[in-house]
Amino acid sequence: MFADHVEIQRGPLQRFPDAAHVLGRDDAHARADAVARFQCPDGPRMIVCSLRAASQGITPTRASNVAFLELGWTPARHDQAEDRCHRIGRESAVTAWYLLAPETIDETMATLLQRKRGIIDAIADGRVQDGEALVEALVRDLRARPFRHLRAVA
């Protein structure tokens, strides 16, 4: 499980206290220990990770599912996090789940990430990406609709 914000990371850790974790507050030794415990066949079945702290340098290849509890600002950050489970020697598929709440900022962020990915792909392919500026589109979208706030559910 990947999340950016501490309060979002806290939810699954409270609900599943035996889960391993790789968070910003963890030092390098604690992070390595958490991944080693998770990799053991009889280890925790879940690892909660900071999108920043764990998107590089760890290899939780035991995971067959990766869940994103919130979205970061760049497609590359998500790609890096997904790739943590797709390592050399992996034989089975990995499924990435993006858990988005309707009528929240999640929808805008998902659209923004899609547009960024389209721009990146166009540049990499040598194509010209037409359309309005990314920031202008984001501001217009944010102003156009109200968002509802989510309440915590334990």
Helix ranges restricted to H, the chain? 6-15, 28-39, 75-83, 105-125, 134-144
Specify the pTM: 0.78
- In this predicted model, what pLDDT tens digit does every residue of 62-117 receive, in sequence order? 888 999 999 988 888 888 888 887 776 677 888 999 999 988 888 888 988 888 88
Distance of CA 67 to the CA centre of its chain: 7
Instruction: List the chain domain ranges.
Output: 1-99, 101-154
What DSSP string describes 46-68? -EEEETTTSSSS---TT-SEEEE
Residue 72 CA: distances (Å) to CA of 20, 64, 86, 150: 22, 21, 20, 18
- Mean pLDDT along residues 13-22: 96
1-99 belongs to which CATH class?
Answer: alpha beta
Distance CA 133, CA 118 (A): 13
The tens digit of pLDDT for each residue in 29-44 reads: 999 999 999 999 999 9
Structure token digits, residue 92: 């089975």
pLDDT at residue 148, rounded to an integer = 66
